Amino acid sequence: MKLIHVHGFTELQPESLITNQYRKFAKKLHWNLEIQEFKWKTLEGNPTKIVANFHESECRIEEVAPRLAEVIAAEKDEVILSGHSLGGAILLEALERHPNFSNLHSVILLGAAYPQKNTLSQIQKITPQCYALNYHSPKWDLVLNQVYFNAKGCVAIGTNGLLNPGIFENVKVNCTHDGYTGYARLIPGIIELLAHPQKIQSPEKANKPWQPIAIGNTEDWDDLHYLDGHIVQRNCITGYFRVIEEGGVHRERFYSKSVIPLLEAIAKLPK
């Protein structure tokens, strides 16, 4: 199995932080997951030219998307696709042009810089075996909320989610656009979501709840996944994960340093 991550605008170093985090936490789980960064030519985000450089980089989406599609089609094994920012836009364009890949394990969008108003008709034909998740940040991602909006004059799906998500699940988080306060901080939980269907085990255990929790995404918690009426969340301060019930005032079900035991605990709850 291979994970292919498409980096975003201004990612000029040999490997982006998000790809590095995927590699780090897959290794921590002893998961033999091959990880590849799909490199494309972008520009430095010079503050005095950021809008012009953004537009020039965005113009490359049309030429880069077919190349990404070729890379995916050449893979014989299952493929996990991940795209951050403009990388998410490239990924969506590739899937819109070629939605019939038979080897898709999952698709992960992280703050995708793609117009919310666009109608993605063909992408609803994709058939990932496990997940299709669109992580979007309505409040904290000022790059999308302000710079992208000013440059494009429209809202990004990385801000308010897909209008017609279809196969995708819109998942609200509180991430900035880069660095360790950005989408990279979600990667430990995302890797464990991806690893769980592969029967990867974790040494951690699910602990019982310790305090009443009022539902409503506070600024300390990121949503990671909705499952069977429960939400798996990550605390951006402590790094702990928890399972809570959707809606109302309730007690959180379990917490742990790992997502995998929480998913297993959810599976054992009465339906």
- Could you report the average pLDDT of every consecutive run of 10 residues in the chain (271 residues)? 92 88 96 95 62 70 92 94 95 91 94 85 88 95 86 89 90 92 96 95 86 68 91 90 82 89 90 69
pLDDT at 213: 65
Write out the two tokens for 206.
């699910």
pTM above 0.75, yes or no: yes
Chain centroid offset of residue 99 CA:
19
pLDDT at 49: 58
pLDDT at 48: 53
Q: Give 108's contacts (C-beta < 8 A, 6+ positions apart).
A: 80, 81, 82, 83, 131, 133, 135, 190
